[in-house]
Copies of this chain bind each other. A is one copy, B any other.
Amino acid sequence: MEIREIFARNLRAARRANGLSQEELAHRADLDRTYISSLERHIYGATIDVVDRLAQVLGMEASDLLQRSAETQEPPSPDPGKDQA
């Protein structure tokens, strides 16, 4: 498992645990929406600077986002379902 994938998964998981869309997260971390998307698709190897900025917004430590088995807080899991009318 590459570090980029670890980070990508943790990022997506943490983002959802916080109930944020890529847009919302991007806005709060002062980054571009498509850049978050790229990160979650492990297109880039982010710098620790970006990792840290994201971690702060998500209320966690930068090291948590690189953890091989990250324990995110129990997400409310809104479970939007897929039946969008």
Contact = CB atoms under 8 A, between A and B. Distances in A.
A33 B36 CA distance: 32
A42 to B, nearest CB: 10
Nearest to A3: B52
A45 B52 CA distance: 11
A66 interface: yes
Interface residues of A, number: 20
Contacts of A21: none
A61 interface: yes
A7 B50 CA distance: 13
Interface of A: 2-4, 6-7, 45-52, 61-64, 66-68
Which 10 A-B pairs give the minimum distances between C-beta atoms?
A: A3-B52, A45-B49, A63-B63, A63-B66, A45-B47, A62-B66, A63-B67, A3-B48, A47-B47, A45-B48
